[in-house]
């Protein structure tokens, strides 16, 4: 046990010395000094870290430098400064740092959301934009989307006709978005029991929560093997569930002989299997990562947006009447 802590201490010292030597030669924005190893993590210990960052920005300015653990971090707090990072110098800040959640859940950080900026990310983005997200491809699923919306409305009407029965709109919207996403991406609707004992939506929800949860290993990488939060084991379990399910989906598409149906996203991606582009070769792990990206992006954001829109309409009856008339 002693040698483990000695090794950790030695690695920490090496990281600190390397960071100190690098930063000494750079002109960095103002910011809190922080402690060795942990940096300024203690300053974000409140319930709402965004409020902590706002308070620090009032002291140090719109562009602030701070170390979160061993990770050098720039915090931008004004539209003018954000424009410099997101537009003027966007290529400099376009990449993603190593991330434990994406590493274990997203098949080695091969998805678009967390992949390192470079030839792979650019080509996968181009492929998805032209082959998966083009207007022609999206419009090919228009009749399917209308069908699913009609089924959802009919389901809500049937429950409402029973009398004074509460209708869980969030649940209905979530089911609607999941069904549409599955049909567009995977080719058909899947029930929870087709996926895993935990259920499709629950595993996706757990994966999103794990990927977004504060993880000390993201800020102090050399302690990652210790898995202090217990996240790694859970992330591997989530990835295994996705891997088994996506493997089954890919095999179904490879064995399908139905040439009349509209090609879904998996059909398009499977067509690129073995395709060599610059320094990499597209394999099943890349396809699985992109499928996961498409499902999570379409299901989580869309259902949340519709939930908020419905809530606002309920709060504003006049706007609701305008929507009902249109």
Residue 214 lies in a domain: yes
pLDDT digits (tens, 9 = 90+) for 23-61: 555 788 999 988 888 889 988 877 888 899 999 999 999
78 and 159 in a single domain? The answer is: no
Under DSSP, the state recorded for 104 is: H
126 and 57 in a single domain? The answer is: no
% of residues, the chain, pLDDT over 90 = 24
125 and 68 in a single domain? The answer is: no
Residue 94 lies in a domain: no
The C-alpha atoms of residue 223 and residue 231 are separated, in whole angstroms, by 13
Query: In angstroms, how far is CA 128 from the centroid of its own chain?
Result: 16
Concatenating the DSSP letter of every residue in 100-112 gives HHHHHHTTTT-ST
CATH code at position 169: 1.10.630.10
60 and 192 in a single domain? The answer is: no
197 and 60 in a single domain? The answer is: no
- Predicted TM-score (pTM) of the model is 0.80
CA dihedral (177, 183, 186, 189) positive or negative: positive
284 and 162 in a single domain? The answer is: yes
Number of domains composing the chain: 2
128 and 58 in a single domain? The answer is: no
pLDDT digits (tens, 9 = 90+) for 142-198: 898 999 999 998 988 888 887 777 888 888 888 888 888 888 888 888 877 777 777
Residue 245 lies in a domain: yes
Query: In angstroms, how far is CA 102 from the centroid of its own chain?
Result: 8
Residue 8 lies in a domain: no
Residue with tokens 């060795």: 36
286 and 160 in a single domain? The answer is: yes
The C-alpha atoms of residue 64 and residue 56 are separated, in whole angstroms, by 8
Q: Which domain holds residue 180?
A: 120-324
Instruction: Check: CB of residue 183 under 8 Å from CB of residue 189.
Output: yes
Residue 43 lies in a domain: no
Q: At what angle do helices 231-255 and 200-212 cross, to 10 degrees?
A: 130
Residue 141 lies in a domain: yes
Residue 4 lies in a domain: no
Residue 113 lies in a domain: no
136 and 221 in a single domain? The answer is: yes
């Amino acid at each position: 046990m002693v040698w483990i802590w000695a090794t950790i201490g030695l690695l920490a010292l090496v990281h600190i010395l390397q960071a100190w030597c690098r930063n000494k030669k750079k002109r960095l924005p103002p910011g809190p000094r922080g402690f060795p190893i942990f940096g300024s993590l203690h300053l974000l210990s409140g319930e709402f870290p965004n409020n902590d960052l706002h308070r620090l920005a009032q002291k140090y300015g719109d562009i602030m430098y701070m170390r979160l653990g061993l990770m050098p971090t720039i915090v931008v707090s004004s539209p003018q400064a954000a424009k410099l990072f997101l537009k003027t110098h966007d290529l400099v800040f376009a990449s993603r740092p190593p991330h434990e959640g994406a590493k274990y859940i997203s098949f080695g950080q091969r998805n678009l959301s967390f992949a390192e900026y470079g030839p792979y990310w650019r080509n996968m983005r181009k492929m998805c934009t032209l082959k998966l997200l083009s207007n022609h491809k999206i419009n090919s699923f228009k009749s399917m989307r209308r069908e699913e919306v009609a089924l959802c409305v009919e389901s809500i009407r049937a429950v409402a006709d029973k009398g004074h029965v509460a209708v869980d709109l969030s649940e209905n919207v979530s089911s609607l978005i999941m069904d549409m996403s599955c049909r567009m991406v995977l080719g058909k609707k899947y029930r929870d029991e087709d996926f895993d004992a935990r259920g499709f939506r629950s595993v996706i929800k757990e994966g999103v929560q794990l990927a977004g949860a504060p993880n000390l290993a993201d800020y102090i990488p050399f302690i990652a093997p210790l898995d202090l939060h217990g996240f790694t084991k859970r992330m591997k379990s989530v990835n295994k569930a996705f891997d088994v399910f996506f493997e089954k989906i890919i095999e179904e598409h490879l064995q399908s002989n139905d040439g009349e149906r509209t090609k879904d996203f998996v059909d398009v991606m499977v067509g690129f299997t073995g395709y060599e582009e610059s320094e990499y070769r597209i394999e099943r792990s890349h396809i699985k990562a992109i499928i996961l990206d498409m499902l999570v992006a379409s299901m989580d954001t869309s259902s949340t947006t519709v939930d908020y829109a419905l809530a606002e309409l309920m709060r504003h009856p006049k706007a609701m009447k305008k929507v009902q008339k249109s």
